[in-house]
């Protein structure tokens, strides 16, 4: 969202009222057009006619003086390469060639342009290593937004490239094949960097303490890499962070209470699928802006802190597949605005907390594979938006009562209640007339007796 907002603000910073472009600009654009394949030129051979004013061409915007300032050709089905001659557009401020099928390298002349503010070539087939800057510039380049995500770039991210990008505000290099250490030096070279997305690459090694110098950084994403080691203490000096996302790596250690509380601007914390241990500290409850908490698939344990109930903005929580234990009722969920809650594959005991039924906006609730017991509360009818419920636990009883209560959740599309109701008789009561939106129903491994009831045949949307 931040990345798009920056580009949008920059896009609206001028009004395109052109007269005519120069011959050099027209020639550079024609060179780009002629380098596209006949079946992948997006109709530019019709719109871009050499004898006409290029300020009137599709995707081309000019200043009042007739200087080409924008080339916006995203999602045009373009195939071919990006020529260095586009750098001859000396007044170019924004170049957007995203979501096409462009191949080859990203010309250094564009990456190190003396005019471009926004460069977006994401979602193409560009490849090779990222170009290095051979000559340093004391003043730095004007580039503010660089999006090279979802391509096939590889190799190490060159520090010489970052050295001259002193005005960089947002860098998205996700979904490529970059290797080596993460380019943490960007924090030293670009003091205003606010968004850095390095996820879905092959970065390795530990997280550098250099990220602490990113005093303006709001978004740091580096999930799905090969990172190891601990979260460095220095990282928690980046107190402007609103999103810290390192899922699917091999990070170790614990969440230190004194460090965590310093990130009091956090909205999203995603450390899922790592090797973190220890418990969730009480200080988590002081993150008043927190909306998403992902700690799933780790080695964490202990009881959930009751202070978690102070995170009143929390909408998404997943702590599945850990070793958490104790009574989940220690947390008062009634103050939270939960939409998705996943507590499955832990060792929670007791009954399902009554306070969770106060989360009336809940859409998905997963409680399976714990040690809950008892029966469903009538309060489950409060979950009028509930679409997904999984509560396979081996200890729930009274399937007839359960189905009568659950049918009031009229938006349920997936209901997984297997491994419960040991040896009970499946109800054939015709009064079970709800579940009109149900697509998935599992009542496996109970083991129930009786006959498959007629009311199941009324579930016309059932797929599994």
Q: What pLDDT does 15 receive?
A: 40
Task: Give SS3 for 120.
Answer: strand
Q: What pLDDT does 2 receive?
A: 55
Distance CA 72, CA 4 (A): 14
Specify the range with the lowest mean pLDDT, choosing from 39-53, 86-100, 144-158. 39-53
* Tens-place pLDDT, residues 39-91: 888 889 888 998 889 999 999 999 988 999 999 999 999 999 999 999 999 99
The residue assigned the tokens 């007339």 is 433
**Residue 13 predicted with pLDDT over 60:** no
Contact 297, 324 (CB under 8 A): no
| Secondary structure (H, E, C), 127-147 | EEECCCCCCCCCCCCCCCEEE
Contact 94, 69 (CB under 8 A): yes
Q: Two tokens at 43?
A: 């109709």
Topology agreement, domain 1-180 and domain 255-346 = yes
Distance CA 123, CA 116 (A): 19
Distance CA 177, CA 339 (A): 34
End-to-end CA distance of the chain: give it in Å, rounded: 36
Q: What pLDDT does 50 receive?
A: 83
* Tens-place pLDDT, residues 330-349: 999 999 999 999 999 999 99
Q: What percent of the chain has pLDDT over 90?
A: 82
Which whole number is the average pLDDT over 394-413?
92
Q: What pLDDT does 166 receive?
A: 93
Contact 328, 355 (CB under 8 A): no
Nearest of 344, 390, 345 to residue 363 by alpha carbon: 390
Fold of the domain spanning 255-346: 3.80.10
Q: What pLDDT does 7 receive?
A: 53
Distance CA 391, CA 369 (A): 7
DSSP letter at 411 equals T
Distance CA 148, CA 96 (A): 11
Which residues in 291-430 belong to E strands, given as ranges?
292-294, 299-302, 316-318, 323-327, 340-342, 347-350, 364-366, 371-372, 388-390, 414-416
The sheet that has 152-156: what strands, in order across it?
79-81, 101-104, 125-129, 152-156, 177-180, 202-205, 226-229, 250-251
Show me where the domains of the chain are located: 1-180, 255-346, 373-464
- How high does pLDDT run on average in the chain? 92
Which whole number is the average pLDDT over 378-403?
93
Distances in Å between the alpha carbon of 103 and those of 22, 35, 75, 424? 28, 11, 15, 62
Contact 338, 315 (CB under 8 A): yes
Nearest of 260, 195, 274 to residue 227 by alpha carbon: 274
Q: What pLDDT does 138 receive?
A: 57
Q: What pLDDT does 17 receive?
A: 44
Which whole number is the average pLDDT over 4-24?
58
Q: What pLDDT does 4 receive?
A: 55
Distance CA 60, CA 43 (A): 14
* Tens-place pLDDT, residues 23-48: 999 999 999 999 999 888 888 988 89
Task: Give SS3 for 295.
Answer: coil
Environment class of 12 (CB within 10 Å of its CB; exposed 0-12, middle 13-18, buried 19+): exposed
Distance CA 159, CA 8 (A): 28
Residue 237 has φ and ψ, to the nearest 5°, of: -80, -15
Distance CA 114, CA 87 (A): 9
Which whole number is the average pLDDT over 385-391?
97
Reported pTM: 0.91
Which whole number is the average pLDDT over 235-248?
96
- Which class is 1-180 in CATH? alpha beta
Which whole number is the average pLDDT over 97-113?
96
Which whole number is the average pLDDT over 129-148?
83
Contact 322, 301 (CB under 8 A): yes
């Amino acid at each position: 969202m931040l990345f798009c907002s920056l580009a949008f603000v920059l896009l609206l910073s001028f009004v395109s009222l052109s007269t005519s472009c120069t011959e050099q600009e027209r020639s550079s654009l024609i060179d780009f057009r002629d380098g596209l394949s006949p079946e992948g030129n997006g109709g530019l051979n019709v719109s871009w006619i050499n004898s006409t004013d290029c300020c009137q061409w599709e995707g081309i915007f000019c200043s009042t003086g007739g200087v080409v300032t924008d080339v916006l050709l995203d999602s045009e089905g373009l195939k071919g390469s990006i020529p260095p001659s586009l750098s001859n557009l000396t007044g170019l401020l924004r170049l957007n060639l995203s979501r096409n099928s462009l191949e080859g390298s990203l010309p250094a002349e564009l990456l190190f342009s003396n005019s471009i503010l926004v460069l977006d070539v994401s979602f193409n087939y560009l490849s090779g290593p990222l170009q290095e800057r051979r000559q340093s510039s004391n003043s730095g380049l004007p580039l503010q937004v660089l999006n090279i995500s979802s391509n096939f770039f590889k190799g190490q991210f060159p520090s010489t490239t970052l050295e001259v990008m002193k005005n960089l505000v947002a860098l998205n290099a996700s979904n490529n094949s970059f290797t080596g250490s993460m380019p943490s030096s960007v924090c030293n070279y670009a003091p205003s960097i606010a968004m850095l997305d390095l996820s879905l690459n092959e970065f390795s090694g530990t997280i550098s303490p250099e990220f602490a110098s990113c005093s303006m950084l709001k978004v740091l994403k580096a999930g799905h890499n090969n990172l190891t080691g601990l979260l460095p203490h220095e990282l928690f000096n980046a107190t402007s962070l609103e999103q810290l996302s390192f899922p699917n790596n091999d990070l170790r250690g614990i969440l230190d209470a004194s460090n965590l509380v310093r990130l009091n601007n956090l909205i999203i914390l995603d450390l899922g699928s790592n090797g973190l241990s220890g418990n969730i500290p009480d200080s988590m409850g002081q993150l008043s802006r927190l909306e998403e908490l992902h700690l799933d698939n780790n080695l964490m344990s202990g009881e959930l802190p009751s202070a978690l109930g102070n995170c009143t903005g929390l909408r998404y929580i997943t702590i599945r597949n850990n070793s958490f234990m104790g009574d989940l009722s220690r947390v008062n969920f009634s103050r939270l605005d939960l939409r998705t809650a996943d507590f499955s594959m832990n060792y929670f005991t007791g009954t399902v907390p009554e306070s969770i039924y106060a989360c009336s906006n809940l859409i998905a609730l997963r409680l399976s594979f714990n040690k809950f017991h008892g029966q469903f509360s009538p309060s489950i009818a409060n979950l009028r938006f509930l679409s997904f419920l999984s509560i396979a636990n081996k200890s729930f009883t009274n399937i007839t009562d359960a189905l009568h209560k659950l049918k009031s959740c009229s938006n349920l599309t997936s209901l997984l209640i297997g491994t419960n109701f040991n040896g009970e008789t499946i109800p054939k009561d015709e009064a079970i007339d709800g579940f009109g939106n149900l697509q998935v129903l599992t009542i496996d491994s109970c083991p129930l007796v009786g006959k498959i009831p007629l009311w199941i045949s009324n579930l016309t949307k059932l797929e599994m």
